[in-house]
Structure 1
Amino acid sequence: MASEFALIRRHFTRPARHTDLAVGDDAALIRPGPGMQLAISTDMLVSGTHFVPEADPEALGWKTLAVNVSDLAAMGAAPRWVVLAASLPAPDEAWIAAFARGFFACCEAFGIDAIGGDTTRGPLNLCPTIFGEVPTGQAITRSAGKAGDDLWVSGQPGRAALGLAQLLEGLPLHPDYAAACLDALHRPQPRVALGLALRGIASAMLDVSDGLFGDLGHILEASGVGAEIELAALPLTPLMAACGDADRAFRACTRGGDDYELLFSAPPGQRAPLAALARQLDLPLHRIGQLSAAPGLHLRAPDGTLRPAETRGYDHFGT
Structure 2
Amino acid sequence: MDEFARIEKFLAPLAGEAGLGLKDDAAVLSPPAGRQLVLTVDQMLEGVHFFTDDNPALIARKLLRRNLSDLAAMGAVPLGYLLTTALPAALPEAWLAAFAQGLETDQRVFGIVLLGGDSSSARADISLTATLIGHVAPGQALPRHGARAGDHIWVTGTIGDAALGLEARRGKLRDRTGFLTNRSLLPEPRLNLPLAGIVSAAIDISDGLVQDLAHICRGSGLAAEIQANAIPKSAAVAELDDDYLELRLTGGDDYELLLAVPPEKADALQGACADVPVTRIGVFQPGEGVNIVSGSGAKLALSSSGWKHF
TM-score by length of 2: 0.93
Match of 1:269 among 264, 289, 294: 264
Which residue in the other structure is 2:133 paired with?
131
Distance 1:315 1:20, change over 3 A: closer
Query: In structure 2, what residue type is equivalent to 1:143?
Result: H
Partner in structure 1 of residue 188 of structure 2? 189
How many residue pairs end up in the alignment?
Answer: 307
Q: Which residue of 2 aligns with 1:109?
A: 109
Matched, 1:298 2:297: no
What CA RMSD, in Å, does the superposition of the two structures yield over aligned residues? Answer: 1.9
**1: distance between equivalents of 2:229 and 2:74?**
28
Measured after TM superposition, the shift of residue 155 of structure 1 is: 0.7
Residue identity matched to 2:231: L
Residue 288 (structure 1) aligned with residue 285 (structure 2): no
For structure 2, which runs of at least 5 residues remain unmatched after alignment? none
Task: Kindly state the Cα deviation for residue 277 of structure 1 after the two structures are TM-superposed.
Answer: 2.9
> Could you say what secondary structure the match of 1:44 adopts?
strand
Amino acid at match of 1:144: G
Match of 1:56 in 2: 55
Contact 2:208/2:307 (<8 A) preserved:
yes
CA displacement at 1:6 relative to structure 2 = 2.1
Matches within 5 A, 1:6-45: 6-14=5-13, 19=18, 21=20, 23-45=22-44
Note if contact 2:250-2:304 (Cα within 8 Å) is conserved in structure 1: no
Q: Of 159, 172, 179, which residue of structure 1 is paired with 2:174?
A: 172
Offset at residue 107 of structure 1 (A): 1.5
Contact residue 147 and residue 292 of structure 1 kept, 8 A: yes
SS of 1:38's equivalent in the other structure is strand
Say whether the 8 Å CA contact 2:195–2:272 is kept in structure 1. no
- One of 218, 229, 233 as aligned partner of 1:232: 229
Q: Distance in 1 between matches of 2:3 and 2:200?
A: 45
Structure 1 gaps of 5+ residues are none
Letter in 2 for 1:166: A
Contact 2:218-2:288 within 8 A present in 1 as well: no
Matched residue SS, 2:273 = helix
Is contact 1:151-1:288 (8 Å) kept? yes
Moved more, 306-315 or 68-77: 306-315
Q: Distance in 2 between matches of 1:278 and 1:31?
A: 30
Name the amino acid aligned to 1:268: P
**In 2: Cα distance, 1:131 partner to 1:65 partner:** 11
Alignment of 1:221-260 (within 5 A): 221-236=218-233, 238=235, 240-246=237-243, 248=244, 250-260=245-255
Comparing 29-38 and 293-302, the one that deviates more: 293-302
Q: How many percent identity over aligned positions?
A: 38
Q: When the two structures are superposed, what TM-score results if normalisation uses the length of structure 1?
A: 0.90
